[in-house]
Amino acid sequence: MQVLILKTSTIGWCLLITECGLVFYLKTILLVLIEVASCRSSEKRISNQLRQIMYKNIIFSGYGYATGKYLITNKQLEEASRNGYLEGFSEELILSSRNYQKFAKQNPETNPFDYFVGHKMGMKTRVHVSPFPPSKTKMAASETTLDLGVEAIQNALDDSGIHPEDVDAWIVSTVSPHEQAPGIAGTIKCFFVSEANQTQAITITSGCSGFNIGLERAMEFFAAKPDTKNIVVAHTETMSAFLTQKTSFVHLATFGDAAGAVVMSKKEAAQQEGIISINNYQDIKMIDFVGVDKNWNLYMDNSTIKERAVENIIKSGIEILHKANWDSSLLDLIVPHQTGNAILHPCAKHLGVSSDKLYQGVQENMGNISGASVPVSLALLMENNELKPSMKILSPTAGVGGEYGSFAYIVPANEKKKPIDISKDLSGKTALITGITGNLGTEVTFALARRGAKLILQYNSNTEKAKQIETELQKMGVQFELFQCNFIEKEAIDNLIETIKSKYNEIHFLLHTAAVYGRLNRAVDVSDEEVKNVAQINQFMPILITKELQTIVKEKVLYVGSSAEDGQFADSSAYVAAKRGLHGFAASFAAEAFANGIKSIYYMPGIMRDGMSKSLSNRKLYSFMVKLGQAKLLYASDVANRIAKSLYINKIETVKDNYEDTMIVRRDGYKV
């Protein structure tokens, strides 16, 4: 047997084989080479796959904003200045200015006040929650930071298509809270999720940089809790609340009231998108030069603010550009905290960014709205289709307390968003609704159906309307059972109660929407029979049903009352008396129900378009609305949605709550 020695100088090893094994060896080498090639191909394939999921981006998946409803113009401020209410503006000084004289030649329609406030300061209009001028009395009756914050967050969630129950944390900043405690984030969260929701709510007391700080806290939350998918970050402010004792035209020309919100979401993509880098700092040299004192009065040293803010914005902006590995020429937009031209223009110039890339739409039209200015700006840009995929944005902030910071953002690719799916909100729950053929009863029925509830439905005698409702519910694929039962007939009521008891072991919600007005005319005598029937339908039958079914009701009883109880409405005394009787029962029964784990809600809607208003003259309707303090007629569909949400959410937007012992009295659309 011959022996061959093969040497491989390349890798420095030798193999001793027999001649007969040479062919086997060569085959082995070939297989090894094939395997190596295959591994390299596989490695390349794996590398490509890894590259596809390399970027775990944090993007803004939804934007929302809300503003004060009163637009305050420069003309109003100018008139206030001329009348001696506002101080500090000198028309003579502006008229003697060469800059103004030069400007006026090209813009002869611009007067000195509008030149200084609109052109030099950069404020054309501003939004407040109360009419000008702000006062403590007006503010007491105005929207609050809570109202604005809830609206902005709702709009952001709607824009994102993300259900509130899928939000992992709620971060809200403000320096003008509606109350001192609890923190506004915890209260806002109550407007969106059920009592079972245990997600964190984080309140940040910060002004101009509040939103930026909130973003960084959210980024840290995502990093610390890998399962986090969505976080709401918002800033809400009523700056006019700090101006109730101010007469300086600068203060009142500068500030506005608004809230802005984003939904931050985790998104994997092949390219880097969303927040690229972020920073936050505090310059203690500013601590005594801008703020709000214990009496809620704004104080600020304009020259110091300008000097420090310009320096800090530039410093944080340059650092963020460096971290993002961006040159300022790559920027598509600077979306800053909207402080005014005196600060923003020098910053943009130093950063080497042209004025056409500096967004100031919020400042010009809403005023300085503190930390809300950045999210409101982004929301407006998105609303106006001005945020395009791959755009690079720098957003710097600086302000109260010396806080300052910036973030870099790449606009992600557009994705088709679906409406929020509410079909599981009441899934597995059963609701009994009385009076479904009334306008409000019908809308409440559909509101609960859309949320997935199983329905037990009662109507008096309107068979045609009941058939229409039945057809629509069948199309929706909702589980329901329909009962015709005339509330005038005691025997029919007894039969209904016994039938329900025999068929259902538990009912989660009992809702009384049944109501009749009687004749709404004081000039017409109402018969004793009509008075009796009104009392029977509005008062006695809801009371009887509630008492008889209390052992199977598990969560809530909701009674629909009437604003007529508050409005001194004399056109149907029988109706008002019946509703007040129901109200009295509900309040007294609430303690007993609460002891059995049942919550009671007495819901009092304002005047609705398709309700009582259709039977009243314009004069009577106007008089009634004035007595109630109701600004506009309500839509039954909107009220119904708020009633439906009342079954599983603690707090409801646009309504005012007070407690009568253990019962919540909820007034919708008006103030007593």
Enumerate the domain spans of the chain: 21-49, 56-68+138-410, 430-668
CA distance 356 to 601: 54
Provide the pLDDT for residue 29: 57
Nearest to 671 by CA among 23, 143, 44: 143
Name the one residue in this structure whose structure tokens are 């992600």.
412
pLDDT at 31: 59
Per-residue confidence (pLDDT) for residue 532, from 0 to 100: 86
Q: Which residues contact 246 (CB under 8 A, 6 or more apart)?
A: 252, 297, 298
pTM: 0.88
Token pair in block for residue 383 = 């609303």
SS3 456: strand
- 168 touches 199 (CB < 8 A): yes
Nearest to 234 by CA among 254, 256, 217: 217
Compute how many other C-beta atoms are within 10 angstroms of the C-beta atom of residue 431. Answer: 26
Gap between the Cα atoms of 18 and 3, Å rounded: 5
Assigned superfamily of 430-668: NAD(P)-binding Rossmann-like Domain (3.40.50.720)
Q: CA Rg, the chain, in Å?
A: 33
The pLDDT of residue 10: 38
Query: In angstroms, what CA-CA distances link 143 with 186, 261, 322, 368, 485?
Result: 18, 17, 42, 18, 43
Are 56-68+138-410 and 430-668 equal in CATH topology?
A: no
Distance between alpha carbon 295 and the CA centroid of its chain, in Å? 29
Q: List b or e across 538-560, with b for residues whose CB sees 16 or more CB atoms inside 10 angstroms.
A: bbbbbbbbbebbeebbbbbbbbb
Q: What is the pLDDT, as a whole number, of residue 254?
A: 96
The string of DSSP letters for 266-303 reads EEEESS--EEEEEEEEE-GGGTTTEEE-TTS-EEE-HH
pLDDT at 153: 98
Kindly state the DSSP code that residue 565 receives in the 8-state scheme.
G
Q: 56-68+138-410: which CATH topology? A: Peroxisomal Thiolase; Chain A, domain 1 (3.40.47)
- 553: three-class secondary structure by DSSP: strand
Dist. CA 364–CA 376, nearest whole Å: 13
Report the pLDDT value the prediction gives residue 620, as an integer from 0 to 100.
85
pLDDT of residue 65: 98
DSSP string, 577-616: HHHHHHHHHHHHHHHHHHHTT-EEEEEEE--BTTTGGGGS
Give the per-residue pLDDT at 12.
Answer: 39
Task: Please give the pLDDT value at position 45.
Answer: 62
Question: Per the structure block, which two tokens stand in for 604?
Answer: 């009092």
Alpha-carbon gap, residue 470 to 463, rounded angstroms: 10
pLDDT at 569: 67
Low-confidence stretches of the chain (pLDDT beneath 50): 1-24, 520-524
Which residue, chain included where needed, has tokens 């307390």?
401
pLDDT of amino acid 48: 57
Say how far apart CA 407 and CA 59 lie, in whole Å: 12
pLDDT at 614: 73
